[in-house]
Every structure is written in structure tokens, then in C-alpha cells.
Structure 1
């Protein structure tokens, strides 16, 4: 009997369950898709390095999935409370007819199981099929081929999804039972007549608090822009605290402020049903300002995750050609003072370890980077190159001033020209009183370009040198990122006269034959030497190949993109679903008000327009502030991200906004249709 009633109730209330069911299905689908990443290895041609990246991505996503499950759990409980609220009167009638609370609880338990079961089935089916597309996307992002098109099913992800959502629904059912046990019959029957309490009635206080909220948010923006996310200092902490406080105050005071503003424009206020819509919005926001503030912050995180995640992924992939001009690079350990025979010693030592560089290399291209001291103790500093040009960097003026103390590095013209010749660039010449400036660090390039344009002179040990040529942006070795803040190229004999504390050799190699295979053989041999302990007192600190840089870049890019999409989508559907459920709940509570509007002669067209305006306003208010937060956050984060490479943040933002608007508009339309149907049922 209970099952029959529950099934009948679900069938009868299918419109009420639509948003809940679709959100739940979408969440389950996402959960399975991203947790099935590890299983995609079966159809992808991955080497060991790429497999380790896939494993790392799988581990990260598994940990994030715990957080995602908690978020979806709260969403399901919240949605379930909305559905129960819609049926207070129905449950009251059950009790009035003689049912016990445990029997009513049993009916709801069966309903919850039915909805959960069908959503789980639909979500898993969608997830299994859509994960095949994810496998193709993974292949594209890793720049690898698929072995063959093979249907991939992840048993681990399947079981994990069922387990997580089974736990969530058990908690929901327990929560429902506790809630029903506390209900009183009189409250259930009169639930529709219960008015919400308005927390802030004084319009003057609303305006004062609104101004305070804008001040808090403005100060938070100033502090985070000053900090630039370059360190977790007091400015960073205060920007977070003031941003959160400002957001809560904004929504606490917003409805009263808007209402007071609208009242001053009587033509607008008394036009159509504007008065009714504004009063409805005022009532809802004032009583739900906490949830509105939380939703705004979650939307901010969702938009920021999409934009910065995809932007960071694209920046990792940029400049790969510049970073991989050679097949292989050895990084030697830093040596004290000058080491004129460092290359020969290095090659000889590597040969003794079974690495025949002279036999395997088509050409060896060494370049030694010289330096005097570290930071404040260094003799030659970046100060003359940066001073007076701080505004040309994306960094703040104070941060650039801190870079004054960074040591200048030097390289010999002969070695520099040998590198340039190898990559097809024109060799450069210098007189005895000239130097070349090289910099490839993204955030300092505009500053250094200005330095070169200004023909900045530098003084080394009492002798002045003038700059020749425009700024050069060469990379001296195979590397995952560009890190050269400023290197001075001088004639060899002048380098020998400088007071140098240490020198580091970068030995670049272009192999004979198949470069990829030779690099792989060297990597395997070095790993074996390390494993057997034969690399003690080795002459190098690191070795990296062109292929490794590409693999690390594509792997890191894929991880960042997937995490951004996963977190962003979950946060976005959670926010949109909660806003939709709140509006449906509000309209369900105000059915009598809409009926009264029709009784006094309001046309159905005007009522529908009022519903539409209320939904659009309610959805757009948290989104509007979230977009402003995101603009400041993304702009600031892009400065940090650009240290990894050039970034087109505008493209990432546009893509993110398209996704956000598409999902948001979809939920708004669903909410409008649901609200209209709800009111038509009661006509």
C-alpha cells in the first residue's frame, strides 16, 4: 500500500521533482565521468611519464570527489526540504486521516528511494556514455593517439558513485525521519499561511549598511590587487575577510536599499506589477541573505575556477617551441668561481658513467651562467635595469622594487652566439663597451623592453657599458617554464674580469638519429644509475628532454583543466539549483497572492511577466556581484599565472561565461515553467 501511494505521489508531483531529478542526474553523471579517468588508459597510447600524470590526475580527482560529494549532499538535503515544504498540507492530511508519523515517514522514504534510484540509473548511463567522449578529449589534451575505439567502463568509478550517493540518500532518509517526528499537525495544515519574518525594516539603516558593504568590498579589492596573490600576508588575509563580510552585508541590506531607491522613482515603482515584484524580492532576499551570500561566493569560485583553470592550462602550453629548442639539456651543479674546463670535465665524467655524449651527440651547445653572490650580498644587481620603469610591469611598484636586489647573471657572447646559430638565429656582435640584454620572464618583459629602448647603461667594476640591440628573449636550455629575469651578454674577455662567485653549466644537446629514442635511453640509464646509487658526486643536478617538457606541459594542462571543469560545474549547478528551488518554494507559498491578483483584474500576461521579472532578478543579483568579484580575482590571478607563460585570459573568460550563462539560463527557464505550471494547477 505504501509503495503504491509513494509511486502515485511521485507520478503526480513529477513537475515538482523535475529540477531536483535533473540536478541529481547531472551530479551523478559528472561524478562518474571524472572518476573514470584512470580507466581511460586502456584505450590511450601513453608512455610511462604520461601514465604517471594520469595516475596523479586520478588521485587528485578522487580527493576532490569527497568534497564534491559533500556539496552535492547538502544540495540534495536542501532540495529534499523544498519538496517536503511543498507537501506540508498533504502530510497534515495523512496525519488527520489517522496515519502515524512513522507511516508518513515510510511513504517519503520510498519516494526518496524511487527518485534516487531512477536518478542514479539515468546519471550512470549518461556518465558511462559521455565518458567515452571524455576519453577522446583526454587523448587530444595529452597529444596522444587512441589504440583503438573501445567502449570504456570503469567498475571502480561505477561502484564509487553508487557508494557515495547511497550514503547521501541514507543520510537524507534519516534527516527526513527526524524532521517528520518534530512536525505538529496544526503547523502542517497552516504552513501556507505562515509568513516569513523580515530581518531589516529600517530603510535608513539599509542604506547605511549598503554603503558599508560597498566600502568593505572596495577595500578588499584594493588589498588583493596590492597583494597580487604573490604571498599569504596580512593584505591577502584581510582581503578575504573583508570580501566575505562585504558580500554578506551587501545582500543583507540590498533589498531595502533597492526598494528605497525604486520608491523615489514613482513612475517606475507604480508601473504595472513592479511594486508587487519588488516587494516579493525584498521579502525573499531579506530572509535568505545568508544563502544568497553563500551562493554568490560559490558562483565567484565557479567562474574563477573555469577561467583561471583553463587560462592556467593554456599558459602552461604556450611558448613550448621556445622552451624546447634543443633535444636534451643537462643542468650541472653550481660551481664556485670560474670553471673554464667545466664542459670537458662534465662530458668526461658522464662518459665514465656509461653515457657516451660525444658519440651520441650531433652537437653539444654549452652555456655557462655566471653570478656574484645572492640577493643583498650580490655585487651586480638588477636595480639599474628596473629603476624608474616599475609601472611597465604587471607587478605592483613595491614588488618590482623588491626585485632590485635580484642578482644579475652573465653569459659569454661566444656561447650565446653558438646557441643562436644552432636555432637558426643571426649571430650578434659587441664592442668592448657594449652589452646585450636578455629576458624571457613574462611579467618583466615590458619593463626590460623599455630598458632596452632607453639605452640603459650599466656600470660593472667602475666600467660603463651601453646596451646594443633591442631586448632579446632567448631561452638558454630545455626547460618547463621561462625564468630568466635579466641576463647580460658580454664579450668573453670582459666576463673573465668580473668578480664571479659561482657558475652553472647548461649542456644542451642535439642527438644523432632518432632524438626521442636517444633521450629515452639516456633517461632510463640515468634512472638506473640513481637506483643503484652510482650517481653520488654526479656532475649534474637535473636532466630534461624536449619530450618530457611536452609531456609534463600537456599532463599538467589536462589536470588543471579537468579540475577546473569538475569543481566549476558542480558549484554552478548547485547554485543554480538552489536558486531555482528557492524561487519555486517562494511561488508555491504565494499562490494565494497570485490568485488575488487575478481576482482584482490582473491579466494572466501581466502575472506571467511578474513571475518572469522576479525569477530573472533573483537569479541575476548573486550572479552580478559574483561577476564583479570574478573580474577582480581573475585579473589579479592572471598576473600570477603569467609567470608560467603568456596567457590569453580574455578567451578563457569568454568560454567560462558561455558555460555559466547556458546553465544559468537553462535553470531560469525551468524555474519559470515550473512556477507557471504550479499557479495554473491552482486556478
Structure 2
């Protein structure tokens, strides 16, 4: 009998379950899709280096999935509580007719099983389709050519999805039993008549709180712009704290502050059904200001993650093209204690030989007692000094013109002549390049060792000195050989270009050489310690890292977006049930269906828009800060990321908004 009642309730209340069902289906779909990546066709055709990157990515996604399961679990529990609240009168009628709390719990348990099973099946079916598209995206990001299309089913991902969501539904069932056991008949039958009261009676207090909130956010924005993404900087931590406090205070004060502000404009307040709309919105925000604050912060994270993910990947991959000019590079940092004073000496000691057709260049780097802040001591604007502040204590690396010309020869370029009082300025850090280029427009002199030199180049040389996985040349100078005469080098370097006919074989040779140093197979006193970086390794590592960041970002972003929209929808639908008697009163005093539908539309629009607007303002500052970080690796192009983010937001936002508006109207109409 209980099964029959449960099936009847699910069938009868399917419209009420639609948002809940939609959210569960999307959650299962996204969870399965991202956990099925390792089984996709594109992954099976990866090279060895890409496979190691995939292993790292899947490990991170598995860890993130545990975090995601907590988010989705919290969402499902939250949604379930709203559905229980919506059905209080129905449950009260059951109790009035003599049904015990245990029997009611059994009905709810069966209903949860039915909805959960349907959601799992439909979500997995949709996930199977979505994962095939994700396979194509994966192949593009990892630059893997798929030889043929093949429909792949990941049974491990299906097992993980069923396990995680089964645990969530068991928790929901237990909580339903606990919730029902605490209800009294009088509370169930009169729940819709209880209204939320204003927490603070004095409207001036709300105005003051709103001003404090705006000031908190303003200070938070200022601090985070100054600190950037330096998480160790106290300003960054304070900005996060003030940002959260400011967001909560905005929504806490908005109910009283906004209502008080609009009440002063009689033309707006007394127009049509605006009094009713404002009172409804006031009650909702007053009740749900904490959840709206959380939703706003989640939407902010979603916007930031999605809109900067692609630009971060593109910037790093474009930057790696400039920082890997040679097939391989080796580096050895020197000190007075080291017995080995150069890479050349180390190679001679271990008997390493170059192949006949390999081209290579040894060179040294020197460090001089000078800081960036002292080099450009004159004619620097405050804005430029502020940009250079982070690097002002760095000492420049110095390379002799003779060795630099050898590097240029390996580039395939001609030599450069340099007078004794001339220097060349080089850097691969974009923030340094742009700032110093501005300085060089009106300042071609610099101080070096208490002597003034002329900067020969009118723009910073951006060519990398060696192959590296990142822009490690903050700033360095090319000087005449006499300038560093008698000084000890701080580092020894080697650049290599392979024999084109034996590239794969030579790549393995240098990778194995590096492993010998890492595994301590070579005696330190005899060989020292050399770091070898190959172009292919640097590109593969960067590609793996950026793709991992992008995948995890999209994964979390979509989960946050779905969760935020679902909570907003469920809150609205729950309020619709509680407010049914108020709409009956509107009908009795002469309001027609068109006027009532308009009030529902405006309420839903405002409720959906408020957290989105504040999240958008947060994201403007957040994206600016992230772009300042990305620009250190390459020029970010946020256009494609912004379009992708806008597309995802529009589809999910409009879908949930329409479903909520339609559901709200149906609840009011049926009441």
C-alpha cells in the first residue's frame, strides 16, 4: 500500500519534483562525464608523456570528486528539506487521518528511492552522451589525433557514480526520518500562515549596515588588487575575509534598506502590485540572506574559474613557445664550495660525448651587486615603480656579449657589437617587458656598479637565453666582456639543438642523462648536479598542467553553477507554496491572472538577478587580478573564455529561470 501511495505521490507531484529531478540528473551527468575521462578513446591513443599527465589529472579529478560529492550531497539534502517543507500540509493531513510518523517516513523513503533511481538512470544516460563530446574536447586539448570514433562506456565511472549518489540518498532517507519525527500536526497544518518578520525594526540600522558592507567590499577590492594572487600576503587574506563579510552584510541589509528606499518613492511603491512584490522580496531576502550570500560567492567562483581557464591555458602554451627555443638546455648553479665549476667540466669527467651533427653552446651567467630599483634610479613614474616593486630587490643576471653572440648563432642570427659603455636589456617576463619598454622611451641610461651605461636596445630583447618550462628570465643584461673580468660566474648553462635525423633517439639520451643526476647515480664531487630540460618535456608538462587546471576548473564551475541555480529555484518554489493564500487574497480583491503572473515574473527575476549582479561585480575585480598573474606567463586572451562562460551561464540560468517561473505559476494556479 505504501508503495502505491509513494508512486502516486511522485506521479501526481512530478511538476513539483521537476527542478529536483533536473538537478539530480545534471549532477549525475556531470559527475559521470568527468570521472570517465580515463576511459575515453582520445586517452587510449596518448603518448607516454601525455599518459603521465593524464594520470596526474585523473588523480586530481578523483580527489576533487570527493569534494564535489559533498557539495552535491549538501545540495540534495537542502533540496529535499525544501520539498518536505512544501508538503507540510499534505503530511499534516496524513497525521490527522491517523497515519503514524513511521509510516509517513516509509512513504518518503520509497519516494526518495524512486526519484533517486530515475535520476541515476537518466543522468547516466545523459552522461554517456556528454562524455563522448568530452572525449573530442580532451583530444583537442591534449592535441591527440583520434584515428576513429568509438563509443566508450566507463564501468568504473558508473560504479563510482552509483556508489557516491547511493550514499547521498541513504543520508537523505535518514534525515527525512529524523525531520518527520520532530514535526507536530499543528506546525504542519499552519506552516503557510507564518510570515518572516523583519529582524531589525529601525530602518536606519539597515542603512548603516549597507554602508559598512559597501566599504568592506571596496577595501577588499583595493587590497586584493594590491596583493594579487600572492596567498602568503596578509592583504590577500584580509581581502578574502572582508569580501565574505561584505557580501553577507549586503544581503542582510538589502531587505530593510531596499524596502525603505523604495517606500520613499510613492509613485513606484503604490504602482500596480508593487507593494505586494516588494513585501514578498523583502520576506525572501530577509529569510535567505545567508544562502544568497553563499550562492553569490559560488557564482563569483564560477565566473572567475570559467572565464580565466581557457585564457590561462592559451597564455601558458603561447609563452612556452618563446621559452623553448632550443631542443634541450642544461643548467648548473655554482658556488665556491663546488669542486665542479662548469657543465663542460662535468661532461668531460663523466665521459659524455655529443653526436657529430648536434649543435651546442656553453655559456656562463654572472651576478653583480645591483638591484632593479637602483638601475633605473631616474625618471621613473610612480605607476612604473609600483609595477616593478615586486622585483625591485632582484639582481640582474649578466652575460658577456661574446657568449651571447654564440647563443644568437645557435638561433641562426648574426652577431651584435657592443661598446664598453653599452648594455643590452633582456627579459621574458611580460610585466617587466612592458614596464621597462615604457621607461626606455625616455630613459636610455642605467647605473651599474657606480658607473653609468647606455642601453643600446630601444626595446627589451624578449628572446629566451635557454629552454625552460616557464619565463625564468626576470631581467638580465648583456655587457662587454671587460665588465665582468675577474668575477666568478654564478651559473653554467648549455644549449643544444639535436641532429634532425635522430631527434627521438637524442631526446631519450638527454632524458636518461637527467635521470642519472636525479637518481644520484653520479658522484657529486666528480659530476656536480646538472638540471636538463628538453623542449618536448617542457611543452608536455605545461600542456598537462594547463589542461588539468582547465578540466578541474570547468568541472567545479559547472557544479557550482548548477548548485546555485538549483537552490535559488527550490527556494522560490517553496515560497510559492507558502504564499498560495496570499495570491488567493489578491484574486479576491480583483487582481487578474496577467497581473499575478507579472508579480511572479518580477519576483523570480529579482531573486535570480541579485546574487548574479553582485557576483559579476566581484568577478570583474577577480578576473583583473587573475589576468595580472597570467600576464607573467603570456598575454591572456579572455575573449573566448568570456564567450564560453557567457554561453554556459545563459543556458543554465535561463533553463532554471524558466522552469522556476513556470513551476511557480503552476503552484499558484493549482492552489
Q: Under a length normalisation based on structure 1, what TM-score does the superposition of the two structures give?
A: 0.93
Compare 527-536 and 26-35 and name the one that shifted more.
527-536
Pick which of 591-600 and 335-344 moved more. 335-344
Give the Cα–Cα distance (whole angstroms) in 1 for the partners of residues 390 and 620 of structure 2.
27
Aligned residue number for residue 171 of structure 2:
171
Distance 1:486 1:677, change over 3 A: same
Q: Shift of the alpha carbon at 1:636?
A: 1.4
Residue number in structure 2 paired with 1:549: 538
Q: Which residue number in structure 2 is paired with residue 522 of structure 1?
A: 510
Alignment-derived partner of residue 478 in structure 1 = 467
Q: Which deviates further from its counterpart, 46-55 or 500-509?
A: 500-509
Q: How does 1:242-641 map to 2 (within 5 A)?
A: 242-336=242-336, 342=342, 344-349=344-349, 352=351, 355-359=352-356, 361=358, 363-372=359-368, 379-387=369-377, 389=380, 391=382, 397=386, 400-401=388-389, 403-470=391-458, 471-496=460-485, 499-500=487-488, 502-527=490-515, 530-531=518-519, 533-534=521-522, 536-537=524-525, 538-641=527-630
Contact 2:332 / 2:342 at 8 angstroms: preserved in 1? no
Distance 1:493 1:330, change over 3 A: same
Residues 1:500 and 1:406: Cα distance change in structure 2 (over 3 Å): farther
Q: Distance in 2 between matches of 1:591 and 1:56?
A: 53
Change (3 A) 1:236 1:528: closer
Residues in 1 aligned to 2:97 and 2:477: alpha-carbon distance in whole angstroms = 90
| Alpha-carbon contact 1:338-1:500 (below 8 Å) kept | no
**Higher mean displacement: 381-390 or 622-631:** 381-390
CA 219–42 in structure 1, closer or farther in 2 if over 3 Å, else same: closer
SS in structure 2 of the partner of residue 410 of structure 1: strand
Distance 1:529 1:502, change over 3 A: closer
Aligned to 1:376: none
Q: How does 1:127-276 map to 2 (within 5 A)?
A: 127-276=127-276
Is the contact between residue 33 and residue 131 of structure 1 (CA under 8 Å) also seen in structure 2?
yes
CA drift of 1:340 comes to 13
Distance 1:536 1:186, change over 3 A: same
Return the alpha-carbon distance in structure 1 between the equivalents of residues 296 and 130 of structure 2: 30
> Residues 208-240 of structure 1, C-alpha deviation per residue, up to 9 Å, x if partnerless?
111111111111112212212224233222212
Separation of aligned partners in 2, 1:169 and 1:507: 59
**Structure 1 residues 209, 531: CA separation in 2 closer, same or farther (over 3 Å shift)?**
closer
Shift of 1:207: 0.8
Structure 2: distance between partners of 1:277 and 1:141: 48
Residue-by-residue CA offset, 1:322-367 (whole Å, 9 max, x unaligned): 12211111122325599999464244245x1xx4314351x11333
Deviations 1:108-147 (A, max 9, x none): 1000000000100111121122212212211111112235
Shift of 1:652: 2.6
CA offset digits 1:614-647 (Å, max 9, x no partner):
0010011111111111111221122222222221
Which residue of structure 1 lines up, in the alignment, with residue 35 of structure 2? 35
Question: Residue 411 of structure 1: CA displacement?
Answer: 0.9
Instruction: Check whether the contact 2:305–2:557 (CA below 8 A) recurs between aligned residues.
Output: yes
Deviation of 1:517 after TM superposition, in Å, equals 3.6
Give the alignment's Cα RMSD to 1 decimal.
Answer: 2.3
Give 1:43 deviation, angstroms. 4.8
Distance 1:461 1:287 in 2: 67
SS of 1:366's equivalent in the other structure is strand
1:672 aligned residue = 661
Structure 2 distance, partners of 1:500, 1:323, is 26
Cα distance, 1:612–1:424 mapped onto 2, change above 3 Å:
farther
**Matched-pair contact (CA < 8 Å) for 1:308–1:649:** yes
Deviation of the 1:516 alpha carbon: 3.5
Q: Report the more deviating stretch, 1-10 or 640-649.
A: 640-649
Instruction: Structure 1: state its 5+ residue gaps.
Output: 373-378
CA offsets per residue over residues 538-565 of structure 1, 9 Å max, x none? 3552112111122112111110111110
**For the structure 1 residues 526 and 344, does the alpha-carbon distance in structure 2 shift closer, same or farther, using more than 3 Å as the test?**
closer
Q: Distance in 1 between matches of 2:348 and 2:336?
A: 19
Please tell me whether the aligned partners of residues 43 and 139 of structure 2 are also in contact (alpha carbons under 8 angstroms). Answer: no
Give the drift of 1:173. 0.2
The answer for the alignment partner of 1:105 in structure 2 is 105
C-alpha separation in 2, matches of 1:392 and 1:149? 54
Other structure's SS at 2:532 match: strand
In the alignment, the residues of structure 1 paired with residue 355 and residue 508 of structure 2 have an alpha-carbon distance, to the nearest angstrom, of 17
Q: Could you tell me how far 1:402 is from its partner in structure 2?
A: 5.1
More displaced stretch, 222-231 vs 380-389: 380-389
User: Is the alpha carbon distance of 1:549 and 1:391 closer, same or farther for their aligned partners in structure 2, counting shifts above 3 Å?
Assistant: farther
CA distance in 2, matches of 1:28, 1:80: 16
Aligned partners of 1:216 and 1:203: how far apart in 2?
20
Are the aligned partners of 1:224 and 1:235 in contact in 2 as well (CA < 8 Å)?
A: yes
| Partner Cα separation in structure 1 for residue 389 and residue 662 of structure 2 | 58
Checking the alignment, whether the CA contact within 8 Å between 2:91 and 2:104 is kept in structure 1 is yes
* Bigger Cα displacement from structure 2, 12-21 vs 302-311: 302-311
| Corresponding residue of 1:60 | 60
More displaced 10-residue stretch of structure 1: 531-540 or 331-340: 331-340
More deviation, 452-461/150-159: 452-461
**Alpha-carbon deviation of 1:175?**
0.2
What is the SS of the residue equivalent to 1:643?
coil
Deviation at 1:288, TM superposition (A): 1.2
Cα offset, 1:525, TM superposition: 5.0
Distance 1:6 1:632, change over 3 A: same
Distance 1:63 1:402, change over 3 A: closer
Partner SS, residue 392 of structure 2: helix
Alpha-carbon shift at residue 535 of structure 1 (Å): 6.0
